[in-house]
Structure 1
Amino acid sequence: MAPSKKKHASCQPCIIPGGFTVLSLQFSSDSVAQHSMYVKEHRVRAEKSSRRPLDRTLFVLNIPPYCSEGVVKDLFSQFGSVESVELRDHPGSFQESGPRLSRFFRPAGKQGFKVGYIVFQNSSSLPAVKSHPHDVPLVVCSEQRPVATGVQKWIQQYTESFIHPDKLLQIVDTFMQDYDKRKEEEAERQKQEAEQQQEEEEGWVKVTRGHKGAKARPRSEAANQRTLQREIRKKKRKELMNFYTWQHRNTQKEHIAELRKKFEEDKQKIALLRAQRKFKPY
């Protein structure tokens, strides 16, 4: 009997150079074409945001356009509970750029392949994703999770673009309340800095209590700089002009020579005045 040409599933993950694991993606169970995504544990030392904990964040490349944040969350929920999903056009550190706007006030996003940051609730979900077999694709669209494409997707987007006036008013009111709160906090902060600067100009520096065992220090970086400048000026005033002994001796010699020269000039002036003086008793 001739050997079967059908390839058996390897049940092994596919790891490529760079430490990325390849995950196969299939739009539906009856689709022939497959798509590849590349996942890796997110470990960036420069990442300081608490939104991406290093032990629970998965970095994903080559996410297709038909996968929204909700679809990506459902896909990876089979490996563990997903806390948050962030899709971006390019990889980069998380930056808070002002208040979070509603989707009705954000510009239209770029339609293309994206990168994603998936945060799980447990760190044990990352090894489960990286050990997923390459021959077992993840199915995007199913009866339990339908994903609209083509004309149906356009109709859905057009329908969702309309918003009820009451809901829009609620969104605007919430944004304005947050805006007023931020303005009040900024004004209070500027007022405190102005008062602190005035106290420092008068010779007082206000300090705050740190953690136990820590020394008190000025509250702001600007106060630290001003205190340092004052110390530098004070040190310069106290600094001796002639530090070395030979410099001090030469200066004394020059000073004595100058005094002697001035003394001789004064003697000549006095002799000249005496010669010019005329005494006439009669």
Structure 2
Amino acid sequence: MAPSKKKHAGRQACIIPGGFTVLSLQFSSDGAARHALYVKEHKVRAEKSSCRPLDRTLFVLGVPPYCSEDVVKDIFSQFGSVESVELRDHPGSSQDYGPRLSQFFKPAEKQGFKVGYVVFQNSSSLPAVKSHPHDVPLVASTEQRPVSTGVHKWIQQYTKSFVHVDKLQRIVDSFMEDYDKRKEREAEQQTKEAEQQQEEEEGWVKVTRGHKGTKARPHSEAANKKTLQKEMRKKKRKELMNFYTWQQRNTQKEHIAELRKKFEEDKQRITLLRAQRKFRPY
């Protein structure tokens, strides 16, 4: 008897609008509840980071809270060797992370569903993931790699929260060394920019050619400020001081305000001198 067409059709991948492939996920093999994972090939033109290559990175939506980076790596290892896994609260560029912090200095993670970036070693793993049948669930917790939940998970987290003093000191020293090196590089970069932006004797500012269709601008903000101050000085020299009546009134007000300020400072100085004066009979 020939196999049913419905059964054969059920072994196909489920693709929804937006290019996402739906994968079923079970916590354990004997569980009945299933969770849906939405996966898609990571294609962002603005993403130029080497840690997310466009031809080997899988974007995953709806990662459950009980799935850590190691668990996600084990789940997708059946499609090929996984190079790295990154879980985040919201999708975004990998460039806004800055210096990589140790687990002891990271803020507490939010408990909830996350998005993930799975990087495979071979690009052939992506088609294998996207062609996985929807009715064949992926299993998170197995006998070989059990996933702790509930009280057992809390006990493990509490035990890991204790850090040995020597280990913590090594982590702090390593972070401070990286911080000092980063500050030195920034200082060198600022020094180079300052040297490039030095004004010549005629007062011109060196500029560089920007992208096509954009105007040339000075290298840094300091050059813009210097140019603006120079224009303001030229404008003040051209103005006629105390020529109009309102200019004379403003000058008088500023002069009176300055005299009052000096008068108050002198009063405070005299009061301080009187307080410091002592009677010395000998």
The residue that corresponds to 2:263 in the other structure is none
Q: How big is the shift at 1:63?
A: 0.7
Note the aligned Cα RMSD (angstroms).
2.7
Amino acid at match of 1:221: H
Contact 1:83/1:119 (<8 A) preserved = yes
Instruction: Say which SS state the counterpart of residue 84 (structure 1) adopts.
Output: strand
Contact 1:11/1:133 (<8 A) preserved = yes
TM-score of the superposition, structure 1-length normalised?
0.68
The residue that corresponds to 1:74 in the other structure is 74
The residue that corresponds to 1:42 in the other structure is 42
Q: 1:71-220, aligned counterparts within 5 Å?
A: 71-198=71-198, 200-202=199-201
Amino acid at match of 1:61: L
Structure 1 residues 46 and 187: alpha-carbon distance in aligned structure 2, compared to 1, 3 A threshold: closer
Amino acid at match of 1:115: V
The residue that corresponds to 2:258 in the other structure is none
Instruction: Give the Cα–Cα distance (whole angstroms) in 2 for the partners of residues 112 and 13 of structure 1.
Output: 27
Q: How big is the shift at 1:222?
A: 4.2
Q: How big is the shift at 1:205?
A: 9.1
Q: How many residues align?
A: 211
Structure having the higher Rg: 1
TM-score of the superposition, structure 2-length normalised?
0.68
Q: How big is the shift at 1:179?
A: 0.9
Which segment drifts farther, 116-125 or 188-197? 188-197
Instruction: Give the Cα–Cα distance (whole angstroms) in 1 for the partners of residues 32 and 38 of structure 2.
Output: 20
Q: How big is the shift at 1:53?
A: 1.6
Instruction: Give the Cα–Cα distance (whole angstroms) in 1 for the partners of residues 94 and 64 of structure 2.
Output: 21
Amino acid at match of 1:173: D
Instruction: Give the Cα–Cα distance (whole angstroms) in 2 for the partners of residues 92 and 111 of structure 1.
Output: 18
Gaps spanning 5+ residues in structure 2: where?
1-5, 208-215, 228-282
Amino acid at match of 1:55: D
Structure 1 residues 194 and 17: alpha-carbon distance in aligned structure 2, compared to 1, 3 A threshold: closer
Q: How big is the shift at 1:46?
A: 2.7
Q: How big is the shift at 1:140?
A: 0.7
Amino acid at match of 1:73: K
The residue that corresponds to 1:12 in the other structure is 12
Q: How big is the shift at 1:8?
A: 4.4
Instruction: Give the Cα–Cα distance (whole angstroms) in 2 for the partners of residues 145 and 8 of structure 1.
Output: 31
Contact 2:197/2:206 (<8 A) preserved = no
Q: How big is the shift at 1:59?
A: 0.8
Instruction: Say which SS state the counterpart of residue 95 (structure 2) adopts.
Output: coil
Amino acid at match of 1:99: P
The residue that corresponds to 2:237 in the other structure is none
The residue that corresponds to 1:27 in the other structure is 27
Instruction: Give the Cα–Cα distance (whole angstroms) in 2 for the partners of residues 62 and 188 of structure 1.
Output: 44
Contact 1:26/1:140 (<8 A) preserved = yes
Contact 1:43/1:54 (<8 A) preserved = yes
CA deviations 1:138-174 (Å, max 9, x no partner) are 1111111111000000000000111111100000000
The residue that corresponds to 1:221 in the other structure is 219
Gaps spanning 5+ residues in structure 1: where?
1-6, 208-217, 230-282
Instruction: Say which SS state the counterpart of residue 129 (structure 1) adopts.
Output: helix
Instruction: Give the Cα–Cα distance (whole angstroms) in 1 for the partners of residues 195 and 29 of structure 2.
Output: 68
CA deviations 1:4-38 (Å, max 9, x no partner) are xxx84732111112211111111111111111111
Contact 2:193/2:219 (<8 A) preserved = no
CA deviations 1:183-239 (Å, max 9, x no partner) are 2112222222223333x42479999xxxxxxxxxx9x8349x88xx9xxxxxxxxxx
Structure 1 residues 80 and 202: alpha-carbon distance in aligned structure 2, compared to 1, 3 A threshold: farther
Contact 2:15/2:22 (<8 A) preserved = yes
Instruction: Say which SS state the counterpart of residue 158 (structure 2) adopts.
Output: helix
Contact 1:196/1:205 (<8 A) preserved = no
